[in-house]
Structure 1
Amino acid sequence: MKKQVIAAMLTVSLLAAGGTAVTQAFSLGSILKVGGVTVLVDKFGDQINDFLNKLLMKNGVGTDYATKVVPVLSIGTGKYIGAVQVVGPTAQVDKVKAVGQLEGSFNDIARAKALIPLESVDITHLSRVQGVGVSAIIDLKF
């Protein structure tokens, strides 16, 4: 009887510890993904930008405007959630530090994501960069 109680307690302890490890792994993964966006954009942004420019040029849809890869911020949470290529006049593209993403639903028939080129990563004071658009969405793999 005593062995059965000890075995039951051990089983419960292992299950509880396993559940905690999964929760911690998920949280750590989320942190790595959010932090990873800035690391990847800082490290590979220029190379990704060159790749996209060549891809677009090869397919006859290149541009003579300036381009740059920047992170995407969720305006609701302030977290980095991806990356995009922005395009426009050089002076304006140089001002872009991130792109903000706003999401909304229209009469339950459509879902929209607005992408706004921003002068700062501070989402409490949004400042749009005029004359700049998003030319490519980049899916980062972690």
Structure 2
Amino acid sequence: MKKQLVVAMTAASLLGFCGGTAVQAFDLGSILKVGGVSVLVSKYGDQINTFLNKLLMKNGVGTDYATKVVPIISGGTGKYIGAVQVVGPTAQVDKVKAVAQIEASFNGIARANALIPVESLDVTNMSRVQGVGVSATIDLKF
């Protein structure tokens, strides 16, 4: 599993850097994290979702609604920054492609972090999926 992830991220990063002659400074950790979220959610999202559903049922807080694991994308940049489990009616959960995160500070005394289930990965044209909420956040280890 780790070997496949490393190979996939290495290949993706090499494809992204080949072809240009300009030298740029970059943060390899950020690249791996952004690429890693995409790879992990697409490859292991169903397994993570099953794990979370069993965990919630075991603790008496399961749901009869549909659930799915999707990436969190930054509302400002569109970068993949994490993953969450969404919950709601099946038809609505099926529409969710990601959860957009929008952050703001309120007068220096509070920080808001809104998580909005959306129909697209395009942050310039976000459309909220009504009736769907976030039931769990997932910390991904890189």
Output the TM-score relative to the length of structure 1. 0.81
Q: What's the counterpart of residue 5 of structure 1?
A: none
For structure 1, the 5+ residue unaligned runs are: 1-22
Higher helix share: 1
Question: What is the Cα-based RMSD across aligned positions, in Å?
Answer: 1.2
Q: Which residue of 2 aligns with 1:141?
A: 141
Q: Deviations over 1:54-111 (max 9, x none)?
A: 0000000000000000000001111000000000000000000000000011121110
**Using the alignment, how far apart are the partners of 2:93 and 2:103 within structure 1?**
23
Partner of 2:75: 75
Aligned length: 119
| CA distance in structure 2 between the partners assigned to 1:33 and 1:110 by the alignment | 27
SS state of the match for residue 40, structure 1?
helix
Q: Match of 2:73, SS?
A: strand
Task: Name the amino acid aligned to 2:68.
Answer: K
2 CA distance for matches of 1:122 and 1:41?
Answer: 17
C-alpha separation between the residues in 2 aligned to 1:40 and 1:129? Answer: 23
The CA deviation string for residues 7-40 of structure 1, in whole angstroms up to 9 with x for no partner, is xxxxxxxxxxxxxxxx96x612211110110100
Deviates more, 1:114-123 or 1:26-35: 26-35
- Distance in 2, matches of 1:100 and 1:36, equals 18
Structure 2 residue 56 is the aligned partner of structure 1 residue 56: yes
What percentage of aligned pairs have identical amino acids? Answer: 82
How far has the Cα of 1:44 moved from its partner?
0.6
Give the match's secondary structure for 1:124: helix
- Deviation track 1:111-138 (CA, whole Å, cap 9, x = no partner) reads 0100000000000001000000000000
2:20 aligns to what?
none
Matching residue of 1:87: 87
Q: Highest CA radius of gyration, 1 or 2?
A: 1
Structure 2: give runs of 5+ residues left out of the alignment. 1-23
Q: 2:125: which partner in 1?
A: 125
Equivalent residue for 1:105? 105
